[in-house]
Structure 1
Amino acid sequence: MTRRTRRVEGTMIVQRRAVTAVLAAALLLTAGCSSDDPGPPDSHGSPSLGSTTAQSSPSGPATAETPPAKGAVKVVRTVATGLKSPWGLAPLPGGDLLVSSRGEATITRVDEKTGKKTELGEVPGVSPAGEGGLLGIALSPDFASDHMVYAYFTAASDNRIVRMLYNEKKPPGQQLGAPDTVFRGIPMGFVHNGGRIAFGPDKMLYAGTGESGNTGLSQDKESLGGKILRMTPDGAPAPGNPFPDSPVYSYGHRNVQGLAWDGRQRLFAAEFGQDTWDELNAIKPGDNYGWPEAEGKDGGSGFHDPLAQWSTDEASPSGIAYARGSVWMAGLRGERLWRVPLKDTEAAADPQAFLEGEYGRLRTVVAAGGDKLWLVTSNTDGRGNVRDGDDRILELEVK
């Protein structure tokens, strides 16, 4: 357990429908670093302590699907190779895949059957540096009619969310319309920019943010850093949020990069720890997840304890997905895919690791229906050992 008592004053930030404040972006590294630091790969700070553990943490109704006692993973095929710093993945209704490049600031369409890559275009205004760049992408819940692609990226002064019209009838490289800024003012830094976005079962837009290296922002409910945000597709605070007129859905996070819902519409989030514990959290609106006062399971402090936790060299989690009664979590420094079965008792059984070291760093995992997952590697962003064919998208069969 690592405790932090020092609190740094955060900068008041509001989304575009209110008055936009000027961000004082915190570029100083914390004593521990996330797995995307440009220094030693996956360095969190001091060496990790302890082995894999899982904790019980109720968070709403149990899942409807009971997972098998012992899981399995089969790599069915490699869908695509030669991707540059891939980060976000969004399946299209017809089966093809959109993938974002953090460093290139481009979105590419991958033919799910042949692996052929077609660049849609470059997203303007992206400032790739450190852990920043073009990060998560998501399709509008009304994509069939509005053809909107949402993207989370690091700009010169902040992290923001935009939406762009995708017109596949135009020539390659010109298929993205001008970005419409939906939400701005999320703190940016050299590290801890969060970046995952997803539309929930309620058709609201969720975003995982980081504290940008300024730990005090996580406990500041007036800041957008170190939070899970929930908003309408137009960027307004979503109806029913726990704090009046605020997009903040939960707080006390360090660097959220994984969001997924189970069969009963429970939200789960993966989070980078610092020196000791990485976390999988079951999210309840308005709850405080402890950072920087607590890292990992704290017990009895008023913070929401993680559902499962890992030593930092085993995980460094990024994307997560739900399939076959389990949460599947991609590990960067850990270079493995974790399975966390969800019991009817609302507790997590012991996590299981798959693909350890076989494909290097794993960035994003997305459910593809039934027992199928898409898995994206992350070795070409300057932090991994590049292998022939990197980076790639894999099709997995799981149970």
Structure 2
Amino acid sequence: MSPSVLASRQGRAGPRRDGRARVRRLILIGTALAMAGVGMVSCGGGSEPSAAPAAASGPATPGPATAEATGAGKTAPGAPPAVRTVVTGLAAPWDVAFLPSGEALISERDSGRVLRLPAGGGRAIEVTRLPGVVHRGESGLLGLAVSPAFATDRFVYAYYTSATDNRIVRFRLSGNRAEPPTPILTGLADAAVHNGGRIRFGPDGLLYAGVGDAGVRSRAQDRASLNGKILRMRPDGGVPPDNPFPGSLVYSLGHRNVQGLAWDSAGRLWASEFGQNRLDEINLIVPGGNYGWPDVEGTGDTDGGRLRNPLVTWSTAEASPSGIAIRGDTLYVAALRGQRLWELDLAGAAGRPRALLTGELGRLRAAVAAPDGSVWLLTNNTDGRGTPKPGDDRILALH
């Protein structure tokens, strides 16, 4: 199904995945990116794109542009992407984080293992099996991040589900030996679904975490809850003094299930988010921004500027986005149900997203920018929802 334009209309229509809430109508906008954002929204359908006023609320309104049509599931004209296999035989890998040496750490969701992969590829070696990891449904060992000061502090961070909560821990890694982990944040509500789990250090040296609503939609708008949010914290888990809500780790709210975080060259934070049953999202995150869930899925009335619209949407069949990566001026979005890699231009006249590798690799859990300039792709065909092929799961490098 190709992305399309629908007439903009205030109000709500259509069931969400649980059949209880309704979705605002959408508007597809192709725009040039400006310093504060981009106004491009795409969704499933069959009509051709056209220029329209930007729907996204933000500090600046970019000028309209016409998006060039590229059918979903088809690669735009040009040479096919060059992909090489980095490692095979993984079990439900969820994230990758790179050490300063170029070596990679890999998390396995169900087993709770952290593996270390040599910089030149080869065999992945277990360095720890984090104690207390509990897997049920979508939960388990999820995100990894390496301290920006790893050369001196040796800290690796992990987001995982325990018997009582979702939590973020850190542990010191020396060679292939990991010390016992120490929690820096506990008490995040967990569930079999909507756990979020992506953690990344930003350009400011602070740790950001995407936390899902854990199946309780009201948490996303409750500022007293850390669920349904993007969090921003010091490396020790403390609250930065310049967070948008004093004394709180909350950086943005109104999220259902954020699973991708990445910064562009201008220092802007982008996030991917699972929708309910209609639309998945790419959002440009601003401090204190409210992204609408559960009141809005997709794009709609911003309620006088209180809510921020997503900048790109897809039908859930085309995406179900997880980890994202930025290389140069290009944003890559790994799609689970969509079984493809979406590519978005973040500079100049932003056209319609194009799909790469559709159906070739199966479910894609993450896209991660590698030190050598490639983008690593994690397949997730052994996660209970895919169809494993010989050698799955694997990591591949897109050059």
Query: How far does residue 344 in structure 1 lie from its aligned partner after superposition?
Result: 4.4
Q: Is the 8 A contact 1:198 1:207 kept in 2?
A: yes
Q: Is the 8 A contact 1:343 1:349 kept in 2?
A: no
Query: How far does residue 239 in structure 1 lie from its aligned partner after superposition?
Result: 2.4
| 1:50 partner amino acid | G
Asked if 1:319 corresponds to 2:323, the answer is yes
Per the alignment, residue 385 of structure 1 pairs with 387
The aligned length equals 346
Per the alignment, residue 50 of structure 1 pairs with 45
Per the alignment, residue 227 of structure 1 pairs with 229
SS in 2 for 1:234: coil
Relative to structure 1, the CA distance from residue 250 to residue 57 in structure 2 (aligned partners, 3 Å threshold; closer, same or farther) is same
SS in 1 for 2:215: coil
Asked if 1:333 corresponds to 2:328, the answer is no
Q: Is the 8 A contact 2:116 2:127 kept in 1?
A: yes
Q: Is the 8 A contact 1:192 1:212 kept in 2?
A: yes
Query: How far does residue 377 in structure 1 lie from its aligned partner after superposition?
Result: 0.6
In 1, the alpha carbon distance for the partners of 2:391 and 2:58 equals: 41
State the TM-score, normalizing by the size of structure 1: 0.81
Which string of whole-angstrom CA distances, capped at 9 and with x for unpartnered residues, describes residues 116-158 of structure 1? 1110010011111111100000001101111111000011111
Asked if 1:118 corresponds to 2:162, the answer is no
Which string of whole-angstrom CA distances, capped at 9 and with x for unpartnered residues, describes residues 32-59 of structure 1? 9xxxxxxxxxxxxxxx963698976365
In 1, the alpha carbon distance for the partners of 2:186 and 2:240 equals: 16
Query: How far does residue 93 in structure 1 lie from its aligned partner after superposition?
Result: 1.4
Per the alignment, residue 142 of structure 1 pairs with 149
Report sequence identity in percent.
Answer: 50
Q: Is the 8 A contact 2:87 2:395 kept in 1?
A: yes
| 2:246 partner amino acid | P
Relative to structure 1, the CA distance from residue 61 to residue 123 in structure 2 (aligned partners, 3 Å threshold; closer, same or farther) is farther
Q: Is the 8 A contact 2:57 2:308 kept in 1?
A: no
Asked if 1:306 corresponds to 2:310, the answer is yes
| Match runs of 1:27-176 below 5 Å | 30=18, 50=45, 57=56, 74-168=81-175, 175-176=177-178
Return 5+ residue gaps in structure 2 as ranges: 1-8, 21-42, 62-67, 69-75
Query: How far does residue 72 in structure 1 lie from its aligned partner after superposition?
Result: 6.5
Which string of whole-angstrom CA distances, capped at 9 and with x for unpartnered residues, describes residues 290-334 of structure 1? 001000011332310001000000000000011120211000000
| 1:321 partner amino acid | A
Which string of whole-angstrom CA distances, capped at 9 and with x for unpartnered residues, describes residues 48-75 of structure 1? 963698976365689xxxxxx9786623
Cα RMSD between the aligned structures?
2.5
Q: Indicate the larger mover: 93-102 or 243-252.
A: 93-102
SS in 1 for 2:105: strand
In 2, the alpha carbon distance for the partners of 1:267 and 1:365 equals: 16
Relative to structure 1, the CA distance from residue 195 to residue 239 in structure 2 (aligned partners, 3 Å threshold; closer, same or farther) is same
Query: How far does residue 275 in structure 1 lie from its aligned partner after superposition?
Result: 1.3
Relative to structure 1, the CA distance from residue 31 to residue 120 in structure 2 (aligned partners, 3 Å threshold; closer, same or farther) is farther
SS in 1 for 2:376: strand
Query: How far does residue 250 in structure 1 lie from its aligned partner after superposition?
Result: 0.3
In 2, the alpha carbon distance for the partners of 1:373 and 1:282 equals: 21
In 1, the alpha carbon distance for the partners of 2:396 and 2:389 equals: 15
SS in 2 for 1:145: helix
Which string of whole-angstrom CA distances, capped at 9 and with x for unpartnered residues, describes residues 92-121 of structure 1? 212221100000000001123242111001
Relative to structure 1, the CA distance from residue 142 to residue 357 in structure 2 (aligned partners, 3 Å threshold; closer, same or farther) is same
Which string of whole-angstrom CA distances, capped at 9 and with x for unpartnered residues, describes residues 144-183 of structure 1? 1111110000111110000011121xxx5xx211111011
Which string of whole-angstrom CA distances, capped at 9 and with x for unpartnered residues, describes residues 258-293 of structure 1? 000000000000000011110000001111100010
SS in 2 for 1:87: strand
Relative to structure 1, the CA distance from residue 3 to residue 181 in structure 2 (aligned partners, 3 Å threshold; closer, same or farther) is farther
Query: Of 266, 274, 283, which aligns to 2:268?
Result: 266
Relative to structure 1, the CA distance from residue 339 to residue 212 in structure 2 (aligned partners, 3 Å threshold; closer, same or farther) is same
In 1, the alpha carbon distance for the partners of 2:330 and 2:387 equals: 29
| 2:169 partner amino acid | V
Query: How far does residue 343 in structure 1 lie from its aligned partner after superposition?
Result: 3.2
In 1, the alpha carbon distance for the partners of 2:262 and 2:224 equals: 25
Q: Is the 8 A contact 2:334 2:341 kept in 1?
A: yes
| 1:332 partner amino acid | L
> Hey, which bits of structure 1, 4+ residues long, moved more than 4 A?
1-4, 29-32, 51-56, 58-62, 69-73
Asked if 1:247 corresponds to 2:249, the answer is yes
In 1, the alpha carbon distance for the partners of 2:394 and 2:215 equals: 30
Asked if 1:353 corresponds to 2:348, the answer is no
In 2, the alpha carbon distance for the partners of 1:371 and 1:325 equals: 13
Relative contact order (C-alpha < 8 Å, sep 6+): which is higher? 1
| 1:185 partner amino acid | G
In 2, the alpha carbon distance for the partners of 1:220 and 1:137 equals: 27
